[in-house]
Amino acid sequence: MPREGDADVSISGKKLCDLDEYSLEHVFLYLTVADLDRCVLVCKKFQHIIQRFVFPKKCMHTLVAGSRQGAALSLYTFTRRKRVKLDENWRYGRYEERAYFNHNVMYISQLAIDRDWLYMTHRGRLQAHRRLKNRQMVDNKSEWAIGVARDSDITSLVKRDDRFFMGRMDGKIQIYDLDADKLYLQTITNDIIKAVDFNANVYAVTTKNESTYILNHSLLEPDILDEDDPELLQHTFVHPQAYETIKLNDTQLAVGKFHCSSKQALQLIDLYSCTTIQLNSPSTAVYDVLWMDEHCILSGNFDTTMRLVDTRTGSDEACWTDPYNASVYCLSYNGTYAVHCGMKYHYRANLYDIRVPDRCVQMYFPSKRHNNYSPVYRIATDCSQMFLVTDHNLRILNFDADWAATKDYASI
């Protein structure tokens, strides 16, 4: 006859490797990469489950390193294990830092990246620097450049495929087609151009004090630039309001005012009807906006918040507040879950997860030079690197640095 304690004896004799693969997968999903590396060495069963199921599933939910957009911008093709490790480095603040292009006179460079190149402005010149697969990360010497430094300063830069669209302080816009190696210059206004954007054949320009312009190609073949054409872009609409920032999608222009006392700084301009749509996002000033998808906008605001706005409801769907009460100067979205914000003070950048409202995942404080107060004016990221434009240089944080010291500010 079985005794009372026999069931307990049989259960206590069970080993972890006796569990079925579904249970083991669930357990392994909670482990770090270091723990998983040790488990892989235990037996072939553990190795199969971790490599076949655990790392792919963890990659699907990674905050930064799982983005296809980020992978397309990266020099490297990372394994699933490495992508999970990179995500841990982003979350816990493990990175190597380098500073480039130091200049004593304060000015704001414009920035864009792709897989092989870093594009950066130096006053009136746009220059391309090759990205490197070593600890240097970027070649200090430019491989090509357009314009010269003594030209009017470039105030805004947008890159789509092989085409660059730039606005300048003298009221002119520049379009450079890299594939055809053609540069086009056109005067739009006498005012300083504050921001530009383009989508297909529609171009948008806003100035510091006067108006916002919607322009289209005048050519029958819109993909061909003709530097001798006096009016390559034709005005289709002039909106009598200047904005701090603008971003285009297929049918609408998201705009943010530098100041609005009624706390209605975020608006939409419909490209078909040329009407303004007021969004119910209570912001005194909007410093940067971007489209998450065809319906949702992210805005970086003076009031220390980043807001997610759904244009179908016209209202905020989520809001994140900076722990140090600093304004959000610029935004970068990786296409999945991660939003990087450049903050007003101390060269700082914040990492947010759009799945987790009102919580900062991590803050990054690059080492300080010159002064302690520079904002991050421009920001760009891929799976493993973050590029930050400050008053006096460019900072690059490389998160493919498992040896680096942990700088964890998430609990502040």
Neighbours of 276 (CB within 10 A): 13
Query: Per residue in 50-71, pLDDT tens?
Result: 999 999 999 988 999 988 899 9
Query: Per residue in 92-112, pLDDT tens?
Result: 999 999 999 998 888 899 999
* pLDDT value of residue 219: 54
| Element spanning 310, H or E | strand 305-310
Q: What pTM value is reported for the model? A: 0.90
Look up tokens 């540069």; give the residue.
Answer: 183
Look up tokens 């379009």; give the residue.
Answer: 175
Give me the mean pLDDT over the 262-289 stretch.
92
Query: Per residue in 207-225, pLDDT tens?
Result: 999 999 999 976 544 444 5
Identify the band that residue 21 occupies on the pLDDT scale cut at 50, 70 and 90: confident
Query: Per residue in 160-183, pLDDT tens?
Result: 999 999 999 999 999 999 998 999
Alpha-carbon distance of 93 to 364, in angstroms, equals: 7
Q: What does the CA dihedral 113, 199, 343, 326 come to, rounded to 10 degrees?
A: 180
Token pair of 72 as six digits: 């397309």
Token pair of 327 as six digits: 């304004």
* Range from 4-8, 216-220, 355-359 carrying the lowest mean pLDDT: 4-8
User: Percent of the chain beyond pLDDT 90?
Assistant: 72
Look up residue 17 and give its DSSP letter.
G
Query: Per residue in 298-318, pLDDT tens?
Result: 999 999 999 999 999 999 999
Longest dimension (CA), the chain: 102
